[in-house]
Structure 1
Amino acid sequence: MKSPATLLTAAYDKAKSGGWIEFQDLLLNLSCDDDTLPPDYVLPQIPQLTKESLKSLDFDVDFPDRLPLELERAGFVNVRREVFKVPVGAWPPNEKMRYFGLMAREVLVELLRPLASKPFQSLGIPQSDLNAIISEAEYAFDHIDYHIYVEFGIVYAQKP
């Protein structure tokens, strides 16, 4: 988002008293809690590359972290933030979580391709390196021994 304050002001002005607003965002991180992902793997670098590249294109990548405070500044009340760990890939033993993992995998793979076209290139990364990063990420997402997850954030608030 290039102008979050404008969006929040407009949302506040348009909302009826007692109305709610909700934001959902795939947070810019990939993690592994159980050390199943090798420490030298490129995957943890992707969120940092994403942030750096989007910042270079004037996107406010820190906005999701500030959103609750910004909603309060805009006048909203009952501001809540929830963050959920969503598996990536087919590794979870639970059928429902495996389904979520497969959907998250598709979203992330489809997101990496456009990121590698303009945003990552804005950092001066050679196309051959970008192709290697994408290939390694796809391999990790498909490897059931790598227990990778991404965080999904939801922020909601009410107009008084």
Structure 2
Amino acid sequence: MASSGVCQQPSTSLVKVDPCSHLERPIAEEQSDIHAQAELVSTPRWQSVPSSSPPSEDSTDDNNLGRKIETESLTSSVFDFESEGGRQYTANIPGYPLPNDDQELERELQQHKMFLEITENNLFFSSIGKSPQNILDIGTGGGSWALDVGDKYPSAAVLGIDRTPVQPSLVPPNVQFLVDDCEKSWSDGDVDYDFVHLRCMVSILKNVPGVIKSAFRSLRPGGWIEFQDFAIEPKCDDGTMQENDAFKTVCNLAREAYSELGFNTTSTKDLRSLLDTAGFKNVHCKEFKVPIGPWKAEKSSERLGLQQKEAMLDFIGTLAARPFRALGFSVEEAELKLLSARQALADKTVHRYLVYYFYHAQRP
């Protein structure tokens, strides 16, 4: 365990991972016909309702997650999608940089597998004990992490929330999904969470301090929060990556584009101070250097490097539409920059890597 106050030295110790069988499910088969279900609904905020099926207006049942939170309208807009640059986006989130189509869900699924590889099959590093009762996954996406945690702790109630309804409709009885925005004010409910988890969320939140404060209030005393994230800043220790490296240039532009859209991609480095300010104690950090491409000799690192390279190719593919348009690039200009970045990633003589951060902290 890393000592409080200092990030643990980046690690590259890796083992082979056998992902849970549900990770191999075809994404298209897991998605219900969301468009056909769009209707005006009213639901207790953060009451657990399957995200792919809007609840009825007269639903008042309290479920096993014990939600009793104020009622507000969840309009059909969350089930409306729009196409931009050949990708699909949720229409009710203006400027949101990531799509929500099958291609994005596949990217998230492969990313989940890569996180398991990085962490030697650890879903988290927080000391939540052997029998947590209530777990919240913020920004659950396709729900892979929530499903794995629900499988690991069958007696725990796991709630995954996301701003877009792309989660599977068939889930274990202890896992449920809800469409909602974690940046809205959280009300006090009947649930004190044992664990709040956020993965790759820092760069797509506009108010990271606010979300951290809300998480603090929702945790029971002794409960844990964990951020699993990475900095969109390729690094190199041996001088093989030049300052004008095309992939590095695209990453710099990605940070500018996200900033233009109202997001802060540098907040990952500020997480320790933000957690301290919110009142968390026992703040720990683990760091992992993850190679981009198969340039390291070790088999495990070579495999991970290939995963990371594919992940970065998929990520930069999301930039051509909304993010780069925010910088004023034409479609042709954006594609030329991305082409240069892809060509750069094909060069095995350049030893790039990204740093992944795992911050975990405890409510006193």
On whether the aligned pair clears a TM of 0.5, the verdict is: yes
Structure 2 matches for 1:2-21, cutoff 5 A? 2-21=206-225
**TM-score, structure 2 normalization:** 0.42
Gaps of 5+ in 1: none
The reply on whether 1:95 has 2:299 as its aligned counterpart is yes
**1:6 deviation in Å?**
2.5
The DSSP-based 3-state class of the residue aligned with 1:10 is: helix
Please name the residue that 2:337 is paired with.
Answer: 133
Aligned to 1:64: 268
Q: Which amino acid aligns with 2:214?
A: A
Deviates more, 1:124-133 or 1:62-71: 124-133
Q: Offset of 1:60 from its aligned partner?
A: 2.2
Q: Give the unaligned 5+ runs of structure 2.
A: 1-204
Tell which structure's C-alpha radius of gyration is larger: 2
Q: Equivalents in 2 of 1:151, 1:26: separation in Å?
A: 6
| Structure 2 match to 1:42 | 246
User: Are residue 122 (structure 1) and residue 295 (structure 2) matched?
Assistant: no
What displacement does 1:108 show? Answer: 1.0
Residue type at the aligned position of 1:58: G
Question: How big is each residue's C-alpha offset from its partner over 1:120-156, in whole Å with a ceiling of 9 and x where there is no partner?
Answer: 1211123223212222222222322221111111211
Tell me the secondary structure at the aligned position of residue 2 of structure 1.
Answer: coil
2:286 to 52, 60, 82: 82
**Structure 2 residue 277 is the aligned partner of structure 1 residue 73:** yes
Provide the aligned C-alpha RMSD in A: 1.6
1:89 CA drift (Å)? 0.9
Question: 2:85 maps to what in 1?
Answer: none
Query: 2:337 and 2:218 mapped to 1: Cα distance?
Result: 43
Secondary structure, in 3 states, of the residue corresponding to 1:115?
A: coil
Contact 1:90 1:142 in 2 (8 A): no
State how far apart, in whole Å, the 1-side matches of 2:314 and 2:252 are.
18
Rounded Cα–Cα distance in structure 1 between residues aligned with 2:350 and 2:208: 36
Deviation at 1:88, TM superposition (A): 0.5
Aligned length: 160
Whether the 8 Å CA contact 2:226–2:359 is kept in 1: the answer is yes
Deviations 1:62-108 (A, max 9, x none): 32121111111111001123332110111111111111111111111
Q: Distance in 2 between matches of 1:120 and 1:83?
A: 29
Q: For 2:267 and 2:295, how far apart are their aligned partners in 1?
A: 31
Q: CA deviation digits over 1:38-82, x for unaligned, max 9?
A: 454322212221111111111122321211111111110011233
Cα distance per residue 1:4-60 (max 9 Å; x no partner): 223112211121222211101120101222222345432221222111111111112
| Cα distance in 1 for residues equivalent to 2:263 and 2:298 | 37
For the residue of structure 1 that corresponds to 2:275, the secondary structure is helix
Work out whether residues 287 and 358 of structure 2, in 8 Å CA contact, stay in contact via their aligned partners in 1: yes
